[in-house]
Amino acid sequence: MRRVLLLAALASLAALPAQAESVAVTRHAAWQACLDEAFADQARTMSRSYAATKAVATCREPENAYLAALSTSPLLDGEDVARIRPDLVARARSRLIGLPRLSAL
């Protein structure tokens, strides 16, 4: 139940001050862009599941920056962010695996 509440708080960034929200949104976009690029590079030569795992590992620095921005929220603290990190990473992997396949044509 607590995990659901934490994810709901995470999803409602509207309660954050405008500047903090902007930083979190920017860092989230940077993390997602890194994941997309790394996955596209890896998926050409390996399974989609392994490529997603490698992309997550490759993009650890932008992920940490995003999580640090989230931990400055009045809704979440560092412990909350650490607790929801596995779910965020799992969702990122699932999103990558579900992306349409790139055609070689």
* Residue 27: pLDDT over 90: yes
Task: Provide the pLDDT for residue 78.
Answer: 82
Asked if residue 20 lies in contact with residue 73, where contact means CB atoms within 8 angstroms, the answer is yes
pLDDT tens string 39-95:
999 998 999 999 999 999 999 999 999 999 998 888 888 888 999 999 999 999 999
- In the chain, the N- to C-terminal Cα span, in Å, equals 47
Task: Give the list of residues 6+ apart from residue 96 with CB closer than 8 angstroms, or none.
Answer: 35, 36, 39, 48, 51, 52, 55
pTM above 0.85, yes or no: no
| Distance, CA of 54 to CA of 10 (rounded, Å) | 25
Q: What is the pLDDT of residue 75?
A: 82
Question: How much is the pLDDT for 20?
Answer: 54
- Cα distance between residue 87 and residue 69, in whole Å: 17
Specify the pLDDT at position 50.
95
Q: What is the pLDDT of residue 16?
A: 46
By CB neighbour count within 10 A (0-12 exposed, 13-18 middle, 19+ buried), where does 68 fall? middle
Whether residue 10 contacts residue 84, with contact meaning beta carbons closer than 8 Å, is answered with yes
